[in-house]
Each structure stands twice: as structure tokens, then as C-alpha cells.
Amino acid sequence: MDIFIEKLHIRDAEDLLKFELENRTFFEEMVPTRGADYYTPNIFNKKLEALLDEQFQGVSYYFLIKDRDNSIIGRINLVDIDESRKVGHLGYRIGQVHTGKGIASKALTLLLESISDKEIKLIEAKTTTNNVASQKVLEKNGFKRLDRSDKQFEMNGQKVSFVYYRFEYTLK
């Protein structure tokens, strides 16, 4: 499937909320819930405006993953960028009907290419122990597994913990 990533814009609000609502149950199987309030249009729009402000300030980059029809099929973000340490934190989510097609891996490749000139040296990521697909995406894209948290928490009736990864840009 042909995909591209595009920086998040305010014009994406309605389509993004629809994407999040359609995939809420699926996402909450793998990541902690954002809470019911997140999905109300007023709260969602306020949170979106805050994200756009972060993006404007250069402390985070928010991208939508889109198909050739310009439909949102996922999100990929580099957030909490620490300019002094040159470190950012990765997050992504792919809509349920689009999983297993290599989209997350391709989107991550596109993100790494698009930020290669931003002087970021390290990208950190974490996923849950039950999210094996995400672990494979990270490893396929050159992320090194660092550690697994000893602290467990319950999510959807299952005990899970976090697995931590890091990607290090090398000089070319």
C-alpha cells in the first residue's frame, strides 16, 4: 500500500477524531486508555490545539499516516524533544483494518528520513510486553531493545510491563 506522512494540521480535526473513535477499542487493547473525555469533540479539539502548539514550538512533531486517497490510516509522532540532549520520544498507532500490512514500519522509515536534518541524535520508544507487533516494527527499523521494566500493571485483565527501545542516528 502506498502511504505518506503529513504534519498534523487543524483542518484534520474532524477526520482525526473519527479515526480515533473508530479504532478506540482496538488501540485500548495495546495501550492504556486516554479516557472517555478525550473523545468528546470539545476536549479533543482543545488537546489537538495543544499538540499543534507543541509542534509550532518545535518540541514535538505530529504526523498523520495517509493512503493515496488522503484517508487517515494511522499516526506517528516524535514528542518531548529535548534539544540539549537531542533526544525525542516515538509514538505511533495504525488503524485496525490496516495492521499487518507493513504500514507502521514504512511510516517509521518515512519519519526517520523526514527528521534526519533536525539534529536529533536519539529516539526513544516504549511498548507493552503484549504488543509484539510493535516490538517487531521497532527492531526492523534499527531500534535496539534496551530493557524491560520490572514493574507490571494490569491492562484489559492482563499483566503487562513496558519494553524500552532506542534508535541512535549514526554519522553518514
Q: Helices 13-27 and 41-57, interaxial angle, to 10°?
A: 110
> Which one has a higher pLDDT value, 24 or 170?
24
171 confidence band (pLDDT: 50, 70, 90): low
Give per-residue pLDDT as tens, 71-120: 999 999 999 999 889 999 999 999 999 999 999 999 999 999 988 777 89
Evaluate whether 27 touches 38 at the Cβ level (below 8 Å): no
Q: Report whether CATH 3.40.50.720 matches the domain 3-168.
A: no
pLDDT tens digit string along 21-55? 999 999 887 777 888 899 999 999 999 999 999 99
pLDDT of residue 14: 96
Helices marked H in 36-122: 41-57, 103-114
3-state secondary structure of 82: strand
The pTM of the full predicted model, rounded to 2 decimals, is: 0.89
pLDDT at 66: 98
> What is the pLDDT at residue 136?
95
- How does strand 144-148 pair with strand 61-67? unpaired
pLDDT tens-place string over residues 111-164: 999 887 778 999 999 998 888 899 999 999 999 999 988 898 877 778 888 999
